[in-house]
Each structure stands twice: as C-alpha cells, then as structure tokens.
Amino acid sequence: MAHHSAYYVPPQSHWPIIGAVGLFLTLGGAAALIYSLQQESGSLLAQIMLNSGALILAGMMIGWFAAVIAESRQGLYSPQMDRSFRYGMSWFIFSEVMFFFAFFGVLFYIRVFAVPWLDGEGDKGLASMLWPQFQASWPLMQAPNPEQFPPIREVINPWHIPLINTILLVGSSFTLLAAHKALKREDRSKLKSWLGLTIVLGLTFLGLQIYEYIHAYTELDLTLHSGIYGATFFMLTGFHGAHVTIGSIILLVLLLRVFQGHFTPDSHFAFEAGSWYWHFVDVVWIFLFTTVYLL
C-alpha cells in the first residue's frame, strides 16, 4: 500500500469521450432546434439529438462521479488529490463569477451610458436624434421604438416576492451551514433535516421565481421583447435561476449520498464543494436583488 502516497493517476476512462459526444449532441441539437424554428423546417432530428444528448450527459455525470466516489471510498486519494479537487472547484466558481460579472457589467453600461445617451445626455448628443421623443428613465418602461419593443405596464415590486425570495435564499445558506456543522459533529439526523430544509427553501425560491415570471408575462407586459429592461431583467434572473436549479440538484445528490451513509466528519469534499456553489449562488442573488430589483 506504500505507493498510495503517490498521486493517483486514473487509468483509461471512457467518460470523457462520452461527455464530449453528449455535449456535442446537446448543444448541436439545441442549435438545430432553434435554427429549425427560425427556418420553419422540420425539427424531429434536432429534438432527438437534444434529448439523447441530454440523457448521455446525465449518464456521463452519474457514471463519472460514481467512479470518482468509488475511488475515494477505496482510499486511493491522498490529501494532495483532495487539494486538486478543492482548487479545481474554486477556479470553476471563479469562472462562474466572471460569467455573471459580464451580465452585471452590461446592466451598468446600459443604465449609466446607453439609455441616458439615447436621451441626449453626454457630449455626443447624436444618439438622441434617432428617436427625438424618447425619454430616459430606469426602469425603462418604454423603449425608443415602442412598435418593435412594446412598453412595460409595471415592473416587479421588490418588496413582495423578491424580498421573500431573498429571505428564503439567505436563510438557505444558514441552514446549509447548520447541516455542515452537523456533519462535522457526526450528527446524521440533524444533517439530514438541515440539508433537506435547504433543498426545500431552494425549491420554494424556484417556484416563486416561476410564479413571478408568469405574473410578469401575463399581467405586467414585462417580457424578453419589452426592450432593454426586460432583456437585462430576464437574463440576470434567468441565469441565476438556472444556477439555483443546478445547485438544488447538487444538494439533492448530496442528500441521497448522506442517506447512503457517505461522508465522514474529516472527509466530505463533495459536500463542501456543493455548499460553496450554493453560497456563491446566494451571493449573486444579493447583488441581483440590489441592482436589478431595488435600485
């Protein structure tokens, strides 16, 4: 067993190539589907590609992670290996931060420069000649060309659902923290209930978010088509919601693994990685709540 102090280099694996094929089918299928909608041509092949690709990707993730979990439980991993996973996850979250950074940058540019310039502010004063009747405001209820981008009747009131959602999501970070503490104390039943509660809070958040979207589309005329306010609103909240969904799936897998008796007080990297991701999603929401809803 002495050689286990060396770094574990896994043998040949078929998961990467399966993942590459799955990714190709998923994204190629998505592209073909969107393309066929635009061309009004048949989309059966695209749908088959997309669905089979998504299935392959899901299977790849299950198989790949199962292989890693099995290796970990066989004791093949050294503390150095553990660090590789930790660093890897941290840098992955950094890449996600940059993804959201780009969209927040877009929001600020639009609010600080683009919209006021369209109303004639600044030393250029040319953009305002395109739509002389346009008046800048934020939230931008009426786009410069309201025929192409129909106006918004009302924006979401931040003190109703968004506030509740803030409480839910911030609360879920604390319940997850409690679950982590319980795991470290080896208090399995507390771990299960705190982790379960976190997932419930996350799913409730998602449910309310979906309700808010339906409300926006059906009653407020706040849509993707309603000019730049709708575009930035749905882009930021939509990608955040997608991340909450991914985070919830991660937590759900962790809960299943807890029920399988996985994780010990000293060794539970997957749990930590999942909770880092969850806290990251939470922090994004706090920025989002402030800059998209409140200000």
Partner 1 sequence: MSAYAETLHHGPAKGISRWILTTNHKDIGTLYLVFSLIMLFIGGTMAFVIRAELFQPGLQLVMPEFFNQMTTMHGLIMIFGAVMPAFVGLANWQVPLMIGAPDMALPRLNNFSFWILPFAFAMLLSTLFMPGGAPDFGWTFYAPLSTTYAPPSVTFFVFAIHMMGISSILGAINVIVTIFNMRAPGMKMMDLPLFVWSWLITAFLLIAVMPVLAAVVTMVLMDVHFGTSFFSAAGGGDPVLFQHVFWFFAHPEVYIMVLPAFGVISEIIPTFARKPLFGYRAMVLATVAIAFLSFIVWAHHMFTVGMPLTGELFFMYTTMLIAVPTGVKVFNWISTMFRGAMTFETPMLFAIAFIVLFTIGGLSGLMLAIAPADFQYHDTYFVVAHFHYVLVPGSVFGIIAAVYYWLPKWSGKMYDEKLGQWHFWLSFIGVNLTFFPMHFVGLAGMPRRIPDYALQFADFNMLTSIGAFLFGTTQLLFVYILIKTVRSGKAADQLPWEGARGLEWSVPTPAPYHTFTTPPELNKE
Residues 203-232 touching partner 1, rule: CB under 8 A, are: 223-225, 227-232
Q: Which stretch binds partner 1 (CB under 8 A): 81-89, 180-188, 205-213, 256-264?
A: 81-89
Q: How far is the CB of 38 from partner 1 (least distance, A)?
A: 6
Residues 84-123 touching partner 1, rule: CB under 8 A, are: 84, 87-88, 91-92, 94-96, 98-99, 101-103, 105-106, 109-110, 113-115, 117-118, 122-123
Q: How far is the CB of 150 from partner 1 (least distance, A)?
A: 10
C-alpha 87/C-alpha 24 separation (Å) is 27
- Does 14 bind partner 1 (CB under 8 A)? Our answer is yes
C-alpha 93/C-alpha 87 separation (Å) is 10
Is 274 exposed, middle or buried, given 0-12, 13-18 or 19+ CB atoms closer than 10 A? buried
- Does 241 bind partner 1 (CB under 8 A)? Our answer is no
- Does 58 bind partner 1 (CB under 8 A)? Our answer is no
At residue 251, what is the residue type?
Answer: L
List Cβ neighbours of 288 (8 Å cut-off, separation of 6 or more). Answer: 236, 237, 240
Residues 141-180 touching partner 1, rule: CB under 8 A, are: 143-145, 148-149
At residue 83, what is the residue type?
Answer: R
Is 30 exposed, middle or buried, given 0-12, 13-18 or 19+ CB atoms closer than 10 A? middle
Residues 15-34 touching partner 1, rule: CB under 8 A, are: 15-17, 19-21, 23-24, 27-28, 30-32, 34
Which of 61, 220, 235, 252: binder of partner 1 (CB under 8 A)? 235
Q: Label residue 40 left, alpha or beta by phi (over 0 means left) and psi (-120 to 50 means alpha).
A: left
